[in-house]
Amino acid sequence: MSSDFQANNHSSHHLTSYAKWVRLASTAAITVAVLLVIIKAACWLYTGSAALLASLLDSVIDALASAINFFALRWATKPPDAKHRFGHGKAEAIAALVQSGFICGSALLLAMHGIDRMINPTIVTNLPVGMAAMGIAMVMTIALVAFQTLVISKTDSTAIRADRLHYQSDILMNLAILASLALTWYGWQAADAWFALAIACYMMFSVVAIARHAFSHLMDSELSADERQKIIDTINSKSTVRGFHDLRTRQSAGTRFVQMHIELDGHLPLTEAHAICHQLELDIEALFDHADVIIHQDVAQPTPSTQPN
C-alpha cells in the first residue's frame, strides 16, 4: 500500500469521525434549545418576569445559532473538492461570527427591556413556577455543555466551541435568574430589572470572545506558541536536518496546516532526502489529531541556522 494512499485513507477516516461528533453535538444543541424555548416561553407568559424574558430571548438566539451551526457544520465537514482544495472548514468560523451578531442584537434588546422595567415596574407573579422552570433548564443545559466539552476534546471544533460558550453563559444566566426570582419573592421587585441588565452586559462580554476566536480562524492566524514550539522541537530533534525556515501554520476546522523549508546536506541521495522529509512529516502529524504537513527541501548553507524566520 503506498504512503499517499495511507495518508488519504487516514484523512478520510479523520473527516468521517470529525463529522460524526460535530453533527451529534449540533443536533443535541438544537434539540435542547427548542425545548428550552418552549419551557421558558410558557413560564414567562405565566409569570411576566423580565429576567425570564431575558433567558427566553437568549434561548431563542441559541436555537437560531445552533441551527446555523447545524447547517454550517454539514458544509464544513464536506471533503475537499476541485474548488476547495483545503476543504470547507472556514464555514465553522463564519457560523461563529454570525452567532456573535445574534448575541449582540439580543443583548441590546434585553438591555432596553430592563431599562423599561426600571421606569415602568411590573409585579412578577407565580414565582415558584418560574423557579422550577429555571431549575429544569439548568439541568438540561449542564448536560448539553458536558457533551459539547467531550466533542471539543475530540474535534477542537470552532463552531462547537462558540456554541458551548452560549450554553456556558446560560448556566450562569439561569443561576442569576433564580437569584432574581428569589429576591423578588422576598419583596425586592427591582431585582428583576437589574438582573436583566446584568445578563445583557454579560452577553455582550461573551460576544467579544466568540468573535475574536472566529476572526482568528478566518484570518489564518498562526497556531498557538505551544503548538509551534512542539513543531520546532520535533524539527530540531532530527540530526539530519541542518536548519529550517519559513515555518507557516494555521488551523481550519480540526486540521492543522503546517508548511516549512528544511535544510539538508546537498550531497544526500534524493531517496534519502525524501525519506527524511517523509519521516519528519509523520512525526509532526503525530503531534496533533490531524495535520496536513508540506515540507520543501533546501540545500543547507555553509553556516546552518536552526531558528525559524
pLDDT one-digit tens code per residue, 154-188: 877 777 877 787 787 777 777 777 776 777 677 67
User: Where along the chain do its domains lie?
Assistant: 3-218, 225-299
Instruction: Specify the pLDDT at position 143.
Output: 94
Are 26 and 70 in contact by the 8 Å Cβ rule? The answer is yes
Residue 132's pLDDT band (cuts 50, 70, 90):
confident
Instruction: Specify the pLDDT at position 135.
Output: 84
Domain 3-218 top-level CATH class: mainly alpha
Domain 225-299, architecture per CATH: 2-Layer Sandwich (3.30)
The predicted model gives 266-288 an average pLDDT of 90
* Rounded Cα distance, 176 and 70, in Å: 29
Mean pLDDT of the chain: 78
Which of residues 139 and 52 earns the better pLDDT score? 139
**In whole angstroms, what separates CA 4 from the centre of its chain?**
31
Instruction: Specify the pLDDT at position 15.
Output: 54
Which cell numbers hold the place of 294?
Answer: 508540506
Is a pLDDT exceeding 80 seen at residue 93?
no
Instruction: Specify the pLDDT at position 121.
Output: 64
* pTM as predicted: 0.58
The predicted model gives 265-278 an average pLDDT of 90
Question: How does DSSP classify residue 87?
Answer: -
What one-character-per-residue DSSP string does 132-162 give?
A: HHHHHHHHHHHHHHHHHHHHHHHH--HHHHH
Instruction: Specify the pLDDT at position 192.
Output: 62
